[in-house]
Amino acid sequence: MDKEESTVESKECSDRSELVSEEGKNLKSVLCQRCGSKVLCPGMAVFSDKELFLPPMKNKKALSVTEGSGDSLAAHWLVDDMYTFENVGFTNDVGRIKYLICADCEIGPIGWHCLDDKKSFYVAVERVDHA
């Protein structure tokens, strides 16, 4: 009945309510922006505002060379088991981090996993499509 977030405050809020359920889960499928490969089914992940740094998507050398550049992102889909994913790839370790990529076209990084926290797998909301 009451929509707490339905003020005209920002577009982000309305975007968010389209994506996140009342229970904090993803309402839509999470897909690769480039090839449409399905990463997560609806309702399988919870929204997290943890701030994470991801190297840029477009630059081929991003992961290995340009350590400084990238995006600090604070909207993620979080799952606690890698087998929750429909399709996803894991890069080799970069320090204690494994980046998540599309399993089919290998674009990325679309997400983040730290080897020190085996129950947290993050997919950046900004770097995937929702349908």
Question: Binding residues for another protein, per CB under 8 A?
Answer: 23, 25, 34-35, 37-38, 41-44, 46, 60-64, 79-94, 98-99, 101, 103-109, 115, 118-119
Of 9 and 116, CB closest to another protein: 116
Q: How far apart are CA 28 and CA 129, in angstroms?
A: 9
Cβ atoms of residues 123 and 45 within 8 Å:
yes
Of 7 and 25, CB closest to another protein: 25
Of 9 and 23, CB closest to another protein: 23
The amino acid at 119 = K
Cβ atoms of residues 48 and 122 within 8 Å:
yes
Q: How far apart are CA 51 and CA 76, in angstroms?
A: 9
CB 10 → another protein: shortest distance, Å?
27
